[in-house]
Amino acid sequence: MNLEVELLFHDLIKPTCPTPQHNRYHQLSCIDQMMLPIYMPWILYYPANDSKTKKEEICDSLKRSLSEALTIFYPLAGRFQANKVVDCNDEGVYFVEAKAKCNLLDILQNPNFYDINKLLPFEPDHASDMVAAVKVTHFDCGGMSIGFGMSHQMGDALSSVLFLQSWAAISRGDNDTAIVPLFDSAKYFAPVDLTEFDTGFEYIKEAVVTKRFVFDASSLSALRDRYVYRNNIHHEETIRPTRIEALTAFLWSRIKTITQVKASTNKVFTAYHPVNLRPRLNPPLSAQHFRNIIVEPEIVEIVDNSRESWSDDLMVRKVRETVRKVNAEYVKNLQTDNAYFHMMNERSEKTIKGEVVPFNFTSCCRFPIYDIDFGWGKPTWVSSGKWPFGNFAAFFDTKEGGGIEAWITVLRQEMARLETDPELIALLSPKHKH
C-alpha cells in the first residue's frame, strides 16, 4: 500500500505563558553537544474514540494542551544556537495536521516501512534549528496517529517519553500528574568546544532499509535459556541474561554473519548500547532530569585470521559485563577532565579511518509508551520510523507484554540476507514471520 497523506494545516504552537527572562538561554551539556542532530521518531496510533468527539475538537484540544505543556517544557519551543545553547524564545513547536487516505487498520496490519515517515512532522535528518515538532494524522475510519520528533541534542528517548506523558496528562485534564522537568544536565557534564570535532558520521538514507522483527515472550525466554552461563568467580552460580542482553548478543551475531566482513587484516567490531546514567550518578538523579543523561559503553571484539570470532555465549557475557560496568565510579571518571569528550573523539577518529565496524543498539523497553492517553484511550500501537543511517537497532516492548519489536536498519543488500536468515526466522513471532 502506498500511503497518501494530505496536509491540512500547519502552525507554530507557543507556550501559554511567556518564558521568564532568567530562563531564556539553556546551556547544552557535553553529551547534548555530541549527539547527532536528528529528530527521534515516535508515532502513536489511536483507534476511533467511542465518544464520537469530532476530529476538529481533538486537534484543538491537542494544540491547547501542547501550549500548556510547553510552559513547563519551554526549551522545546526554542531554537538551537551554534550547538552551544537553546534560545528559549518561545518561537514555538511546529504543529502539522494531515489526513491519510486509508484506514488505520491498513497501517496496523501491513505497515509500509518505506513511507511510514509520512506520519512524522518531517524526516529524522531534517536540517533545522527547531527543537521539536508534532504531526496529527486523521484516518478515514476515525482513528488517528500522533507523530512526534524531538532533536536528540535536546534529550534522550526517556526525555521524549517524559514529555509525551506530561502533555497527555494535561490533555486529559490530569495536570497534577504532569512532571515538572529539570534542565540542569550541563551541571553534571560540562560543555566543551567542538570547533574541530568531526563525528565521522554521514547519512546514507537512500541505501538503507528499516524493518521490524517481532520476538514474542516465549522466543525470548528460549533465547535467554540458550545463553545461560556460569559466573566467572562463583562457578556454581549460573547467570541467565535479560531479554535485552540476550537479544542484543543474538542480533549482533546474526548481523555480523550476514555482513560477511572479511578479516584480511585485524578488524574491530564494536557494539554500543546506551545506558541511563540517572540512577548511576552519586547521588542519583531522578527521572525528572530532562536532556541526554546517557552513555554508550563500547563492546569490542577484535577479529583476525589467527582465531575464531566470539561464540554467542561469550558475546552475551561481554554485553552484560560491559553494560554493568557503568557504575558510580565509571560515571565519576566520565565527568573528569572532559573524559566523555575524549572518549567520543577517539571513537570518531577510528570511524573516520575505517578501523571499526560499528553497530548501535538502543532500548526503549519498559518505557510506559502504551500508557500515553490524551483523553480518548491508550494507543493501539507505538512505532518508530525509518532511520537515515545503517547499522542500527531499536527495541520496543510489544503491546501484549513480554515480547520485543526490534526495528533494524541496515544496507538494502544486508537486509535481504537478514530477512532470510534461518536462525533469525526461527525466533520470530509466528504471526510476524512474513
Q: Is residue 267 within 8 Å of residue 354, measured between CB atoms?
A: no
Q: Is residue 333 within 8 Å of residue 325, measured between CB atoms?
A: no
* Known catalytic residue at 50: no
Residue 24 C-alpha from the chain's centroid: 28
Cell 491519510 belongs to residue: 100
DSSP notation for 98-115: EEESS-HHHHHHS--TTT
Distance CA 228, CA 211 (A): 29
Distance CA 203, CA 390 (A): 8
Q: Is the dihedral of CA 155, 160, 163, 165 positive or negative?
A: negative
Cell of 184: 540542569
Angle subtended by helix axes 55-72 and 157-171, to nearest 10: 120
Helix, strand, or coil (residue 328): helix
Distance CA 137, CA 8 (A): 9
Q: Which residues is 210 bridged to in the sheet?
A: 409
Q: Which of 87, 373, 421, 432 is catalytic?
A: 373
Q: Give, in order, the Cα–Cα distances in Å from 376 to each of 21, 171, 251.
A: 36, 10, 37
Cell of 32: 547534548
Helix, strand, or coil (residue 294): strand
Q: Which residues is 409 bridged to in the sheet?
A: 210, 392
Q: Which of 32, 90, 138, 152 is catalytic?
A: 152
The H or E element containing residue 79 is strand 79-81
Q: Give, in order, the Cα–Cα distances in Å from 120 to each of 1, 140, 168, 291, 371.
A: 18, 18, 18, 21, 20
**CA atoms within 13 A of residue 91's CA, in its CB half-sphere:** 13
Helices (H), 362-431: 412-418, 422-427
Q: Give, in order, the Cα–Cα distances in Å from 327 to each of 108, 297, 317, 424, 428.
A: 40, 11, 17, 33, 34
Task: Kindly report the length of the chain.
Answer: 434
* Known catalytic residue at 373: yes
Query: Which residues 6+ apart lie within 8 Å of 377 measured at CB?
Result: 46, 47, 49, 50
- Catalytic site residues? 152, 373
